[in-house]
Amino acid sequence: MNDAPSTTGYSYFPYTDGLYLWDETMPQNAGGTIIAGIEDLGEQGTVYFPTATSGMLAFGSYGASLTSYGSMAFDANNVLYLSYSSVVDSLISASQDPKLVRHVYLMKSSNLGVTWSNPTDIVPRSIGAEYEGMYPSLAKTVNGNVHLIYQRDFFPGYSVPPASGTDPDIENVDNASDIIYIKLPVSEIGTPIVTSIKDVNSAVNTLNFYPNPASTNATIDVVLKENAKMDINILNAVGQTVYSTSVSGNIGSNKVEVNLNNLSAGLYFYQVKVGNGKAITKKFAVEK
């Protein structure tokens, strides 16, 4: 699409989102039905996009939208399988500028795309150095397993610069990428991704950190459903623990004050583990 036809080039709308499905039963001008998009992992009704210090996009530029690179396959029972890549809400990469990473997702439909399973994220988490997952491609043969390859590295954006110069997304490091092969039983597709802290730890009702960004001090407010010990850690961008404390939590609101004077400006993660439950990790920023 070119909004200035008298010139060469094209128009790019990077914050456009939504993967659409169209088939021959739908009107030609209907545009299809939206079936996938960026996940609101915090269930807050909004998606967090950091501000890159360079003024660039808040995610790697592939000339694609927030959700893109769809690939499909069928099995012998006419179940439809879909892979795609999507920017991940609030998941910051290790790049020099704060940017969201993309992950690869799998979904399936047993009624030719009328309804779909929950998306299954197949890219592993790596706190402090999140992976970028891109260019997923499904094998057309599904025989009890789906077979998929995708590209994975630590930095958003493609890793090969154009002949005319260096892609601004590329870091001043060897941005080597791995080609990952995934074999996944079809029964495991549709397992819900974690969409709220309630899915991670049933003892936690709500979890908040304020102010965010913070400067010298901050408050972590953990609302518990039961009395339990709370282990609280703060990690830097490379996963090193820079603050740690343990407190006895009570039913209701538990406010833990954190001194940030010794932390330099940048992105951090706060991690709360209640009793024997899984640790809940969220991000925050420090400004000086």
pLDDT at 199: 47
Structural domain includes residue 132: yes
Q: Is residue 66 part of a domain?
A: yes
pLDDT digit string, tens, across residues 135-169: 999 999 999 999 999 999 888 887 555 444 444 55
Q: CA 90, CA 208: separation in Å to the nearest integer? A: 15
Asked whether residue 8 is assigned to any structural domain, the reply reads no
**18: number of Cβ within 10 Å:** 15
Residue for token pair 């939590």:
249
SS3 content of the chain, % helix, strand, coil (to 5): 0, 45, 55
Q: Which of 156, 188, 220 is the last residue of a domain?
A: 188
Q: What is the mean pLDDT of the chain?
A: 81
Which residue, 47, 85, 45, is CA-closest to 65?
85
Q: Among 154, 188, 222, which residue terminates a domain?
A: 188
Structure tokens at 198: 């309630």
CATH code (residue 228): 2.60.40.2550
Secondary structure class of 23 (helix, strand, coil): coil
Same domain, 64 and 167: yes
Structure tokens at 102: 């993309």
Q: Would you say the pTM of this structure is higher than 0.75?
A: no
Count of C-beta atoms within a 10 Å radius of residue 147: 16
Inside any domain, residue 176: yes
pLDDT at 42: 64
Shared domain for 32 and 152, answered yes or no, is yes
Q: How far apart are CA 126 and CA 129, in angstroms?
A: 5
Q: b vs e for 31-44, b when ≥16 Cβ sit within 10 Å of the residue's Cβ? A: eeeebbbbbebeee
- The answer to whether residues 146 and 117 touch, using CB atoms and an 8 Å cutoff, is no
User: Is 176 in contact with 160 (CB distance < 8 Å)?
Assistant: no
Task: Decide if 2 is inside a domain.
Answer: no
Number of structural domains (the chain) is: 2
Which portions of the chain are predicted below pLDDT 70? 1-3, 29-31, 42-45, 52-55, 95-96, 127-128, 159-176, 191-202, 237-239
Residue 135 included in any domain: yes
- pLDDT for position 165: 46
User: Angle CA(129)–CA(52)–CA(152) in degrees, nearest 5?
Assistant: 35
Residue type, 203: A
- Check whether residue 82 and residue 127 sit in a common domain: yes
Residues 232 and 268 in one domain: yes
Please say which residue of 134, 168, 188 terminates a domain.
188
Q: How far apart are CA 21 and CA 4, in angstroms?
A: 29
Beta-strand (E) ranges in 94-240? 100-109, 120-121, 132-138, 141-142, 145-153, 178-185, 204-210, 217-224, 228-235
Full domain range(s) for residue 42: 19-188
Do 176 and 48 reside in the same domain of the chain? yes
Q: Is residue 5 part of a domain?
A: no
